Structures are given as structure tokens and as C-alpha cells.
Amino acid sequence: MIRTLFKLLVVASVVTVMQFSPAAAVEPDEVLSDPVLEKRARSISEGLRCLVCRNESIDESNAPLARDLRILVRERLVEGDADDEVIEFVVARYGEYVLLKPNSGGSNLVLWLSGPAMLLIAGGVGLAFLRRRSRSVDASSQGLSADEQARLEEILKE
Amino acid sequence: MPIGHPRGPPYNEFMITELGHFCLILAFLTACFQAIVPLIGAHNRWQGWMMSAVPAATLQFLLTLTAFGALTVAFIGSDFSVRLVVLNSHSVKPMLYKITGVWGNHEGSMLLWVLIVTLFGGFVAWFGSALPDSLRARVLSVQGAIAVAFFAFILFSSNPFLRMAVPPFDGQDLNPLLQDPGLAFHPPFLYLGYVGLSMSYSFAVAALIEGRIDAAWGRWVRPYTLAAWIFLTIGIGLGSWWAYYELGWGGFWFWDPVENASFMPWLLATALLHSAIVVEKRESLKSWTILLAIIAFGFSMIGAFITRSGVITSVHAFAADPERGVFLLAILAFFMLAGLTLFAARAFEMQAKGVFGIVSRESVLVLNNVLLAVAAFVVFVGTIWPLVSELFFDRKLSVGAPFFNLAFTPFMVVLGLILPVGAIFPWKRARLQRSLRPLAPAFVLSVAVAVLIWAMQTERSALGPIGFFLGAWLVSGAVVDLMTRTGRGGGRLGRLRRLPRADWGKAVAHAGLGVTMAGVAGLLAWEAEDIRVAQVGERFEVAGYGLTLRSVREIEGPNYVAVQADVALDRAGVGFTVLQPEKRIYPVAGMPTTEAAIDNGFFRDVYVVIGDPQDDGGWVVRTYYKPFANWIWGGAILMALGGALSLSDRRYRVAAGAKKTQAKAVAAK
């Protein structure tokens, strides 16, 4: 209780500090004996959010709930689930909030497409600008512009 | 002479705190004056009114400095009649952290923020005599307006000088995670960067009011942008380094909203830095540079808003204390609307002069700006998406590291690819083959490095080869860039030494980016980890290193108790160091922290953390092998160093003193 209160206080007061509880998460007793399975468990855990933490995956968090989820993931893997099935199982239970990499369906298309779309727009504007500038370079490359002529004379006078 | 005068409790400090409060109010009033009078003066060409900005800026800075000093005195003396000190300090805390506690909280950090606003204004007042009087008056006016907004914010919603009705015996301590040298100086650097961008904003808005922007403007605004960028680079680097050694598992970047809040201004400041060069050298990209300057400061304020209001963490946190958030949002909205409206009204007057071909340094710099701006946009959308999604689509979701790694990284890869090309292209018009020829050896070398690494690594991951290709490409590209500047024939080394510092700065900063990219890729691709229960005396191996848990004991620090372990490190049986990881508990805050012990090396870190005791008498020991970790921050240091070299270039110092020589010449006539 006191710890939660303190955490709230810290969230309100800290400058640009990320709120992570220190100490890494995975305890030795959780680790699976099969290294291939354990590796899969770790990579799945990295994509699942600890529900009671701030922007931490269950792989990084030492919260009890994160531990429960890690064990759950490993249980499913031991029972022979594929990676996707494990993730689907967790999402079905806790909602898409647990996914650190959001789905690309529905309104999330906006999130996923905003970067490429903006790149196209910005690239298009940039290219249009460049072509305009370079067209004038063709026009002006024949000789000096009036401006440049004036400046040249000024320099020569000095 | 009165001897043994009873030094009663805190009556002296009483007066100092009230003096600070009073100075803050006076500074607010001075800022109001500075925001209005010089602006009117510049409009009507009234010399006296314009020049009043200079003493006003000085006075405002001195008053704010006094206020900040008064708060610092309260923290140093642990004056528990001040509410802020009670909430964030403790009498047994080490002195360093009593002082850093001044800005380790909301109210104090805002006071630091506004102190830096006035400091930057002061720089224009003290060293800006080369600027035209009207431009200087307008810049200081805009800077004054920014100060007004933040003074009002502090005085009306976040006053650090409030007293307690009943002072308690002791304070509640600063978050133990913050009691660390790396983090103690992280916020001031970030703020210097954020607020430095307010100078770029002020210059942009002043130029819009003035209706004039030319190469000289580019030269004046660049040092401030460069200074802001250097501070942001150091601030972000410090924060990342702190996270690496303090959080206990060696993560260095989390794509957390508050981290993104500092990263977006950095990306935009980097873009601004490069587009301002085009304005300075080629009188082109003017309106874009102005827009970028306005938006970059906007993102600084968004950063302040995100961290201060807690809105991204949770919509509910925002509702719990809406006053501050709404206040900051109003400041942000006002300055962005004002800047953008002015931009819309005046930008078309900015006629671009320079013409250039498609293949030219200008073009690559445009591409650099497109990439950086879109990358910042991606980070922005990802950061606010959980909020947008919940408000408008009723979907509660998270956007975390996996998204950002995927959506952001490609931009940096392309940026790294084009950078050496743009750096070596001539202005105006380049001949593709002739310009690229000097880079051929660098390219071959980089490909060779990538192939070698691909062949050496056991896993078929592209991350390491790509990262090291970019690293080698950027570093060797920077060397080629320097060498081509020295011409041909003998005496090249001498000429290399005499190159302008700006050239050196550019090469060093670009190489720094390469070092960081290689470090990030190397660390992520080849790190190894081991988690186990170890008995005292047990030896185990991780990534070719042997570790022996020799002993575990309890120790006592100044304001914490800790469990400390001795872990001996050996390589093939030959011991070379003993690491002492700790697990601390700060009783006042009731919070545990882990102090990892790290054996730093040029090519790798070995990172050891001691965990909880087990029933069978063993201890949880976590060991991480972190290859190339120090390259990440080494690269950041190189980038900041490059910026500093460039900032010290003769051309900016000459620009600062130009007017005086001119004045002397006139007097001589």
C-alpha cells in the first residue's frame, strides 16, 4: 500500500524519469529447462505488457502479476501451443491492452500507416521543391543572374 | 559585538524564502515589461524603447537566479517549513542530492526551466550586439513573452515557495532512484536543450514580424540551435546511461512517453540544425526552417506537457490534477497558434534565392530533413496513439518498444546511408561520379566489415552486420570528408590541423552517430544473459567469462542499508577483477534499488546483479554480457563534442564581434 502510494507520488513529481521498478524480472525458478522453449517464452514476454506497470513488458517487470503472466506463457508453451496461440490466449483474457506491438486492424491502421503516408507526402513536397529549384538552375546556369552580376561588380569595385 | 546570539530556528531562512518568492514576482513583472515595450519600440523605431530590452533581460535573469538561489538555500539547510523541501528532501540525505533535489520535483524543475529561459534571453542581451537593434528587441520580446507564460504557471499553479502551517521534524526524501549522479544532472541538461529551442522559436517569430530572413539570420540562429542540440544530446545520453546501470538489467532505451518527449525535440533540432545551414550558406529553405524552428519548440513544450501532466501515463492521472495540465496546454496552444498564424501570414514573403541541381548537397539536406521530420512524426503518433485510441475509438491499447523498433529504425538506416554522401557533395551542383569517387574506399571497407561480421556470428541475424556497416560507413565517410578538404600534395596534415573547427565538428559528430549506431546494433544482436541461483563459492560461466560468488554481506550506507556481494570475474581461470553488486533499501522512502556492478570494457561490459536470498542458502545472481555497450554513449559524447567544436568555430565568434569593428571603423572616419 505504502509502496503504491509512493509510486503515485513519484509519478507526479519526477522530472523525466522513466518509472521502472528496479531489478530484473525473470526468477530462476521460472526458467524452463528446455532452452529453445525458454527462448520462445522470453521473446513472447517481451511483447506483452505488464498490466499494472508503466510501459514495461512482463519480461522486465518484477510485479507479481507479471510473474503470473510469465508462468502462464510458459505453461502454454509446455503444453505445445504455438507462439501465436499463446499470444491469442493472453489477449483473449486481458484484452489488446497487453500487446506492446498493437494490431494493425481497424482504427490502428491509422497508427501503422501514418509513418509511410507522411513519408510519401513529405517526400512528394520535397521532390516538388527540388524540381522547382533545379529548373531555375537550368535557366540560370547559362549566365549570371542580375543579382549575381550586381554583386560581382560590387566585389570587383572593392 | 553580540556574541552567542541565539541562532533560533529558521528565522533567517524564513526571510530568504520570502525574498525568493518576492524576486519571482518581480521577475514576472519584468518579463511582462520585456514582452511588450521593446516590441512597440521596434515597431515605431523608438531606440530607447527597443534598447530597454537589454537591461530588462539582465534584471529578469538576476531576479530569477535569486529566486532559484533562495530555494536552493532552503534545500541545503533542510528548511522543513517549506512544503517542497518536506516532500522532496530529508535531513540525512547526502549534500549533493539535497541540491539536486531542488529540481528533482515538479515545482523546482519549472523554476529551473524558467531560469534557463531567462539565461538564454540574457545571452542575446549580452552578446547580441551584432544583431540589428530591431531584431534583437523583437527576439527578446518574444523570449520575454515565453517567460511571462511560465512565470505565471509557476506563481499560480506550482509555487515552490509555499510554507507548511506546521513544519514536520523531517522530510519524506527524494526518490532513491533519483539519488544518483547520472540522473542528478540529467534534467538540467535536458532543460537547457528544451529551452534552448525557445531561442530558435524567438528568432523565427522575430524574423516573421520583421519580415526579413537572410543568410545573416541563419548565422545568428545557428549557435543557439546548436547549443540546444548539444545539451539535448548530453541530457538524453545521461538519461540512457543512467537507465543502463541503475535499472538493473542493462536496458538503455525504452520508448517510454517521457523518453520520447525528449527524443522528438532532439530529432527536430537535428533537422533544424541542418536546414539552418542551407539558409546560412545558400539562402534557401527559409520558410521551412522558420516552420521547423516553431515546431521544434512546440515539441519541447509538448515534452514538458507530457512529463508534467502525466496525461500519457493515464487519462485519469490528468483528471486528478487537471489545473497544471490545462495551464501547460494553454501555453502550448497559444505559442503554437501565434507562431503558425504569423507563419501563414508572412511565409510567402520569404523568397528563396539559391538555385541548385537535383544532385547537390542541398538536395541531400532536404532528404535529411524529410527523414528526421517524418521519424519525429512517427514517434509522436506512437506516443499519443494510446490516448487518441481510447478517446476516439474506445480501444484501450499500448504502443511499446516493438512498434517503435519496427516503425522508427528504417528512417535511421536510410539517414545513415545518405549521410556521408551528402556531407561530401558540393553545394549547388554535384557531378555524381566525381563526387562519389572519394567515398569508394570507405564503401568497400564498410561492406567488408559487414561481410566479416556476417561470417563470424553464429546466428543469422542482419542486425549486427547492418549496424556495423553503418558505423564503418559513417566513421570512414567522416575521415574521407576531412581528407578531401585538405586538397592534394604535401603538407596535408598541416592543412588538416588548420581546417575550420566547423569542419572538424561536422566530421566528429557524424562519426559519433556511426559509433552509436554500431553500439546499439552490436548490443542488441549479441548480448547474452544468465539467471541462476548460485551458492556462495560456486563458479559458473557466462559468454566465456567465469564468475565466482565469493561472499555476501550486509553493509550500511548514509541513508540506506544494503546487501553486498563479492563476485570474482575470471577469463579461462585467470581472475582479473572483483565486482560488488548491491541491493539497497532506503528506509525513509521504503523503496529497494539494485546497484549493478559493471566491469566496463571497450568491446564489452560484464554486468552483475545480486538478487534475493533463496531458502537453500543460495542467491539469485543475474549476469549480462553486453557487447559494445559503451559505444552507445561514446558516440553520444562524440556527437556533443562535434557540436561543441562547431560552436567554437571562428565564424560565430567573428559574427558576434562584427558590429563593434564596424562601429570603430565609422568612428575612425
Helix (H/G/I), strand (E/B), else coil: B129? coil
The cell for A76 is 502454454
Query: Does residue B138 belong to any structural domain of this protein?
Result: yes
- The partner residue sitting opposite A49, judged by closest CB among B378, B395, B400, is B400
| Other Cβ atoms within 10 Å of B266 Cβ, number | 25
What are the backbone angles phi and psi of residue B623, rounded to the nearest 5°? -125, 135
Q: What is the DSSP letter of B575?
A: E
The cell for B458 is 553464429
Query: Does residue B224 belong to any structural domain of this protein?
Result: no
Q: Which residues contact B259 (CB under 8 A, 6 or more apart)?
A: A16, A18, B236, B239, B253
CA angle B590, B101, B166 (to 5 degrees): 75
Inter-chain CB proximity A46 and B428 less than 8 Å: no
Query: Does residue B98 belong to any structural domain of this protein?
Result: yes
CB B274 within 8 A of CB B365: yes
Query: Does residue B501 belong to any structural domain of this protein?
Result: no
CB B136 within 8 A of CB B13: no
- Ranges of chain A with pLDDT below 50: 1-23, 140
Alpha helices, H only, chain A: 2-13, 35-46, 64-78, 83-94, 108-140, 146-157
Q: Which residues contact B100 (CB under 8 A, 6 or more apart)?
A: B174, B178, B184, B185
B532/B513 Cα distance (integer angstroms)? 36
pLDDT at B26: 96
B194/B200 Cα distance (integer angstroms)? 11
Helix (H) or strand (E) holding B555: strand B545-556
CB B134 within 8 A of CB B111: no
Query: Which residues of B, range 521-550, sit inside 8 Å of A by Cβ?
Result: 531-533
Nearest to B371 by CA among A141, A115, A78: A115
Mutate to test the interface with A, among B97, B385, B397 (most CBs of A within 10 A): B397
Mean pLDDT split into 10-residue runs, chain B, 669 residues:
42 74 96 94 91 94 96 90 86 86 86 94 90 92 96 92 84 73 82 92 94 87 93 93 84 87 94 92 88 94 77 52 81 94 84 77 92 96 89 88 93 94 87 86 94 85 92 95 81 82 93 96 91 91 92 88 93 90 83 87 92 88 93 96 91 53 44
Query: Which residues of A, range 1-40, sit inside 8 Å of B by Cβ?
Result: 2-3, 6, 9-20, 22-28, 31
Which CATH number covers residue B104?
1.20.120
The interface predicted TM-score of the complex, written ipTM, equals 0.83
Helix (H/G/I), strand (E/B), else coil: B313? coil
Helix (H/G/I), strand (E/B), else coil: B533? strand
Identity of the residue numbered A69: L
Nearest to B474 by CA among B443, B438, B444, B452: B443
The cell for B126 is 549580452
What are the backbone angles phi and psi of residue A129, rounded to the nearest 5°? -60, -45
pLDDT at B15: 82
Domain that holds residue B150: 9-179
Q: How far is CA A119 from each of CA B210, B293, B340, B368, B386, rounded to the nearest angstrom?
A: 33, 20, 22, 12, 22
Last residue within a domain, chosen from B179, B195, B210: B179
Identify all chain A residues contacting B178, using CB atoms and an 8 Å cutoff.
14, 17
Dihedral in degrees, nearest 10, Cα atoms B145, B148, B153, B156: -150
For chain B, what is the domain count?
2
A23: left (phi over 0), alpha (psi -120 to 50) or beta: left
Query: Does residue B443 belong to any structural domain of this protein?
Result: no
Last residue within a domain, chosen from B179, B209, B240: B179
Judged by a CB distance cut-off of 8 A, whether residue A144 touches chain B is: no
Whole-prediction pTM value? 0.88
Query: Does residue B213 belong to any structural domain of this protein?
Result: no
Judged by a CB distance cut-off of 8 A, whether residue A151 touches chain B is: no
Query: Which residues of A, range 122-141, sit inside 8 Å of B by Cβ?
Result: 122-123, 126, 129-131, 133-134, 136-137, 140-141
